[in-house]
Amino acid sequence: MSALPAVDLGAWPHQFTPGEPGAPVLLTLHGTGGDEREITALAAHLDPRASVLSPRGRVSEAGANRWFRRLREGVFDVDDVIVRAGELAAFITAARDEYALTDAPLTAVGFSNGANIALATALLHPGVLTRVVAFSGMYPFGDRDPMGDLTGVEVLLLNGGADPMAPATSVDVLERTTSAHGASVTRNTRPGGHGIDASELESARHWLESRRKS
């Protein structure tokens, strides 16, 4: 991958809440129409000790915050996905320096559009982001495969089996393709559609806890 773009943290809306000394960092990434404040509520369910880093998506769709452009529902502008993933990787790198998080393990936790940009960032920039919890995410690259070696990348996919916004066929591609590139993929499918339920929060909490102990 090419060099990361320069980012100005002061010009990128975000919030940072420090956690306990030595605690991991949760990078919380909102869905379409959300913001950097509401998505942080996930952190309390997953690891109340963690530091929380929460940026805002910088694409606007009819006034709704998003992480990248889409051509229509379920059809992403893949060129823009790739560019925005590079920007988020640069944000993570700069924020680690700014908030003295260089040595802290970091996991991206995203919902819907936030899950998709988290996945794209880890799959394109595994040197920056290696762990993702993706709620209602899908394959972010359309009919392309721009990924390289993903050894060391760990992904938890949490989806509803009847989700029209993140269809199982796309999640199948995501699981199969990322695994073929060397990523470790855990996939849990529940009944129902788009959203996050209590069982998924519990699954994510256990998944994160198991990695803290490994």
Active site residues: 112, 163, 194
CB-neighbour burial class of residue 120 (10 A; exposed 0-12, middle 13-18, buried 19+): buried
Residue with tokens 């100005």: 8
**Cα–Cα distance for residue pair 74/39, rounded to 1 Å:** 22
CA quadruple 104, 11, 28, 75: dihedral positive or negative?
A: negative
**Cα–Cα distance for residue pair 7/187, rounded to 1 Å:** 33
